[in-house]
Amino acid sequence: MSATALKEPTATAQAPLDPEQYRADFPILSNVHPHGHRLVFLDNAASSQMPRQVIDRLVHYQTHEHANIHRGVHLLSERATEAYENARRSVQRFLNAREDREIIFTTGCTEGINLVMHGYGRKFLGPGDEIVVTQMEHHSNIVPWQMLCEEKGTRLRVAPIDDRGELVFEEFEKLFNERTKFAAVTHVSNALGTITPIKRMIDVAHAHGVPVLVDGAQAAPHLSVDVQALDCDFYAFSGHKLCGPTGSGALYGKAKLLEKMQPFKGGGDMILSVTFEKTTYNTIPHKFEAGTPPIAAMIGLGAAVDYLQAIGLDRIAAHEHTLLDYASRRLVEIPGVRIVGTAREKAAVVSFYVGDVHPHDVGTLLNEEGVAVRTGHHCAQPVMQRFGIPATARASFALYNTLADVDALVEAVRKVQQLFG
Ligand SMILES: Cc1ncc(COP(=O)(O)O)c(C=O)c1O
């Protein structure tokens, strides 16, 4: 395993991103016509679309490279292993991890968080220990820790958010004491779009000797992430939210922590030797990758992060910010429309409701106009409770969305308002 800390050059120049240049990479955008309309896909926070470059990589793998990895000495097994390990190095570059053995392939962000709960939490936390989360976590960064609390008698401490959907930093800080043993916090809220002050949060936790897991599911597709600069202990994200395949994802962990942790799953590939008396575990990252993984999905993930890095995450962020500003401005011009989540630092998500119209009806009517948005509680029920609402409609952007997509959204919402208003 190599220890490269170098970031590969990304976009050649920081010219503004022209989404039209990239839309052609995404065949689904021109192949699907909901109710005869141009597809306006604004459900990217749930799952984004896949560019031809990733689809082609998957086809190439299945037609030229497929075999099981790390096991065979034959040609195809060598090819598959090389492609799989190259994908790991792509993710290493993407997160700027110090070493590729700090990248564990997972089936997604949820599995990454569960891995840390089982591997670190169940080994090192006990009765009376406290875990800090925030009120804006996705269920997948709440429920695993509640399961740990049930099993071990640990306690969850929740840092509140204010009316804008921003973390109340002083309250977050106050939660840390000698019983605090872990913090699991989001980088970007999926329901509100809030970008948390993640570096400051990590620094506070570290000042108390507390390791930090960052849920990066909504940040990795939109922001340039540097785990060494953040100094986070764990960083989890999903492939399907950043133009990669479902069933792919990665967990970054500092090598010294991963080495101390217990395995999450037992089975083939995660062992060095097995007898009925004693099993010796493999080195990291293999200790955490039991059984045959979704090899193709991980190779697709490698292609997806290479694709995003070649465009440049900073350019993607700037483009999506333009869309977010424009959408936020135009939506509130419509009578009855309220935006939930008005943090000063936001990523590519706008959650809203239209008067008393149920968000589900909003979503259904938008679909009739060709506009795909998400409606519901977005797996963040505590956020809905905080704002006293059952659900929102949520438009979320990706690099291939355009100002025309926002116009289509606004026109469709206007029709909803006129129908019910
Ligand atoms: C903030 C956040 N965390 C975690 C997850 C879970 O991701 P996955 O379902 O891909 O494991 C999501 C998915 O929406 C999310 O938005």
Give the span between the Cα atoms of 327 and 362, in whole angstroms.
16
Angle at 27 between CA 22 and CA 29, to 5 degrees: 80
Residue nearest to atom 9 of ligand 1 (CA): 110
- State the CB neighbour count (10 A cutoff) for residue 154: 21
Inter-residue contact 69 to 84 (CB < 8 Å): yes
Residue nearest to atom 7 of ligand 1 (CA): 109
Give the span between the Cα atoms of 124 and 195, in whole angstroms.
29
Work out which ligand 1 atom sits closest to the CA atom of 378: 14
Q: Which two tokens stand for residue 301?
A: 């993930």
Give the span between the Cα atoms of 60 and 374, in whole angstroms.
33
Distance 172 CA to ligand 1 centre (A): 22
Question: Where residue 421 falls among pLDDT bands split at 50, 70, 90?
Answer: confident
Residue with more model confidence, 371 or 8:
371
The residues pairing with 40 across neighbouring beta strands, listed in sequence order, are 371
Work out which ligand 1 atom sits closest to the CA atom of 241: 10
Give the span between the Cα atoms of 343 and 114, in whole angstroms.
29
pLDDT of residue 13: 52
Q: Which of 113, 115, 143, 190 to mutate to test the pocket of ligand 1 (most atoms within 8 A of CB)?
A: 190
Give the span between the Cα atoms of 354 and 417, in whole angstroms.
7
Work out which ligand 1 atom sits closest to the CA atom of 188: 1
Residues involved in catalysis: 379
Residue 11 pLDDT > 70: no
Q: Which of 47, 109, 246 to mutate to test the pocket of ligand 1 (most atoms within 8 A of CB)?
A: 109
The residues pairing with 102 across neighbouring beta strands, listed in sequence order, are none
Mean pLDDT of all residues in 31-36: 96
Angle at 59 between CA 53 and CA 61, to 5 degrees: 100
Burial code of 306-317, b = ≥16 C-beta within 10 A, e = fewer? Answer: bbbbebbbebbb
Mean pLDDT of all residues in 361-372: 97
pLDDT of residue 54: 98
Distance 140 CA to ligand 1 centre (A): 7
Of the candidates 136, 185, 112, 215, which has an alpha carbon nearest to the alpha carbon of residue 379? 136
Of the candidates 316, 250, 242, 319, which has an alpha carbon nearest to the alpha carbon of residue 53? 242
Distance 222 CA to ligand 1 centre (A): 14
Give the gyration radius of the chain's Cα atoms: 22
Give the span between the Cα atoms of 23 and 31, in whole angstroms.
12
Rounded (to 5) percent helix, strand, coil in the chain: 45, 15, 40
Question: Where residue 1 falls among pLDDT bands split at 50, 70, 90?
Answer: very low
Of the candidates 54, 66, 10, 5, which has an alpha carbon nearest to the alpha carbon of residue 239? 54
Return the H-helix or E-strand segment holding 324.
helix 313-331
Of the candidates 390, 412, 389, 384, which has an alpha carbon nearest to the alpha carbon of residue 327? 412
Residue nearest to atom 15 of ligand 1 (CA): 217
The residues pairing with 252 across neighbouring beta strands, listed in sequence order, are 103, 235
The residues lining ligand 1, judged by C-beta closer than 6 Å to any ligand atom, are: 108-110, 138, 140-141, 186, 190, 215, 217-218, 238, 379
pTM: 0.96
Distance 154 CA to ligand 1 centre (A): 24
pLDDT of residue 175: 98
Give the span between the Cα atoms of 353 and 366, in whole angstroms.
13
pLDDT digits (tens, 9 = 90+) for 78-135: 999 999 999 999 999 999 999 999 999 999 999 999 999 999 999 999 999 999 999 9
**Separation in Å, CA 138 to CA 157, 217, 235:** 15, 10, 15
Of the candidates 89, 143, 168, which has an alpha carbon nearest to the alpha carbon of residue 386? 168
Work out which ligand 1 atom sits closest to the CA atom of 240: 10
Q: Which of 223, 379, 381, 396 to mutate to test the pocket of ligand 1 (most atoms within 8 A of CB)?
A: 379
Peptide bond into 285 cis (omega under 30): yes
DSSP 194: B
Distance 43 CA to ligand 1 centre (A): 13
Distance 334 CA to ligand 1 centre (A): 30
pLDDT of residue 12: 47
Q: Which two tokens stand for residue 26?
A: 């995404």
Name the amino acid, one letter, at 15: A
Q: What is the DSSP string of 62-74?
A: IIII-S-SSS--S
Q: Give the orientation angle of helix 403-420 with respect to helix 313-331, to 10 degrees.
A: 30
**Separation in Å, CA 329 to CA 172, 299, 332, 334:** 31, 39, 6, 10
- Cβ-proximal residues to 218 (8 Å cutoff; 6+ apart), any chain: 45, 186, 187, 188, 189, 190, 241, 347, 349
Work out which ligand 1 atom sits closest to the CA atom of 189: 1
pLDDT digits (tens, 9 = 90+) for 167-195: 999 999 999 999 999 999 999 999 999 99
In the chain, the N- to C-terminal Cα span, in Å, equals 62
Distance 190 CA to ligand 1 centre (A): 8
Q: Which of 116, 141, 214, 238 to mutate to test the pocket of ligand 1 (most atoms within 8 A of CB)?
A: 238
